[in-house]
Amino acid sequence: MKIEYDNLYTHFVFITQKRQRIIHEENRERIEKYITGIVNNHASKLYAIYANPDHIHFLVSRSHQ
C-alpha cells in the first residue's frame, strides 16, 4: 500500500547556545529574511517565522522533490 502526503509541515525551533539572549531586536528582521531566503531557495513554502531573543520558530511546508 502506497502512502502519499499532500501537505507535510515541519515546525523548526533553533535555539542559541545555552539559551543566551543574543538575538537583538535590531537584527531580528535581518535574520528572519535570511531564513526566508534559504527556505525559498529549497522550493519550500514558509508559513510563519519569528525570532525571539534566545530562539527562532518557523513553520515550513516542504517540497515534494
Residues 24-44 pLDDT 10s? 999 999 999 999 999 999 989
Q: Does 23 score more than 70 pLDDT?
A: yes
- The pTM (predicted TM-score) of the whole model is 0.81
Domains by residue range for the chain, with CATH: 9-61 (3.30.70.1290)
Question: Mean per-residue pLDDT for 1-16?
Answer: 86
How many Cα atoms occupy the beta-carbon half-sphere of 11 within 13 Å?
Answer: 3
Is 47:59 a contact under the CB 8 Å cutoff? yes
Q: What is the pLDDT of residue 62?
A: 81
